[in-house]
Amino acid sequence: MLRRLSCYLLLLFPGCPLLAQSCTKPAPVDSSAAFWRQQLTYPRVRAARATAGPVVAARLRARSLDPDRLEILFRLLKTHRELEVWARNRNGGPYELLHAYPLAATSGTLGPKRRAGDGQVPEGFYEIDRFNPKSNFHLSLGLNYPTAAERALGEPDPGGDIFIHGGEVTIGCLPITDAGIEEVYLLAVLARAAGQTAIPVHIFPFPITDAELAKRPNSPHLAYWRGLRPGYAYFEQHHEPAAPAALAAQ
């Protein structure tokens, strides 16, 4: 049992010589291992591997998720106040909910972000574009806000630097505590090392259904929310993100 666990942890964290000694199959030396080695040059990532790595490995193992084929997707419904992590094996079918991390703080109101300093959390379809192992908030993952579609709205300064991060304070970001970000950061690094170059992040104000929209008939954001609905509904039905062309039409 211990031997099997050690081998699984080696798959999760390639390049660890102590674990490699206990496995019959060594970790391959490829871009995956190189990405891990680069991340492990940072003390906080090494500490996260030590504390959160076994939890992450157990969650993946319980769902028969292969670290070498892992793909993930993040989703947030503001009214639920949780960051959902969905996961699957590459070419292995639809995403399934792996775990949900409660937000430690929130800011702004329901509705998209449009200006720097408005305190709003964006709403729409994004991707992780930065790994920050030296964040002011322990560890953080950056979103590619604003997208081209949001820049096209013409606001002179739509803001930026929106992160999923540790800690318990925020002005427009998604804090999930230091313990939470350690797990989420490791999952994101693992997925990137396994070859997932685009990690989606879907952010919605609430479940975008007819019933929920009908509760807010006078909102100035109603048209925008209706534009997000096809992407929300597609993922709800298929547990797959809609094609990028469809999301761009938000």
Active site (annotated) includes residue 165? yes
- Residue 215 bridge partners (DSSP): none
Active site (annotated) includes residue 7? no
Q: Alpha-carbon distance 54 to 60, whole Å?
A: 10
Place of tokens 């969650």: 59
Whether residue 95 contacts residue 205, with contact meaning beta carbons closer than 8 Å, is answered with no
Place of tokens 């609430």: 206
Q: Taking the CB of residue 59, how many other CB atoms lie within 10 A of it? A: 16
3 state DSSP class of 80: helix
Q: Dihedral sign for Cα 15, 21, 22, 26, please.
A: positive
Q: Taking the CB of residue 233, how many other CB atoms lie within 10 A of it? A: 14
Q: Alpha-carbon distance 86 to 98, whole Å?
A: 5
Q: Alpha-carbon distance 44 to 39, whole Å?
A: 9
Which listed residue (23, 99, 138, 165) is catalytic?
Answer: 165
Which listed residue (99, 138, 173, 202) is catalytic?
Answer: 173
Q: How far is CA 69 from CA 32, 64, 175, 244, in A?
A: 11, 11, 27, 21
Residues designated catalytic: 165, 173
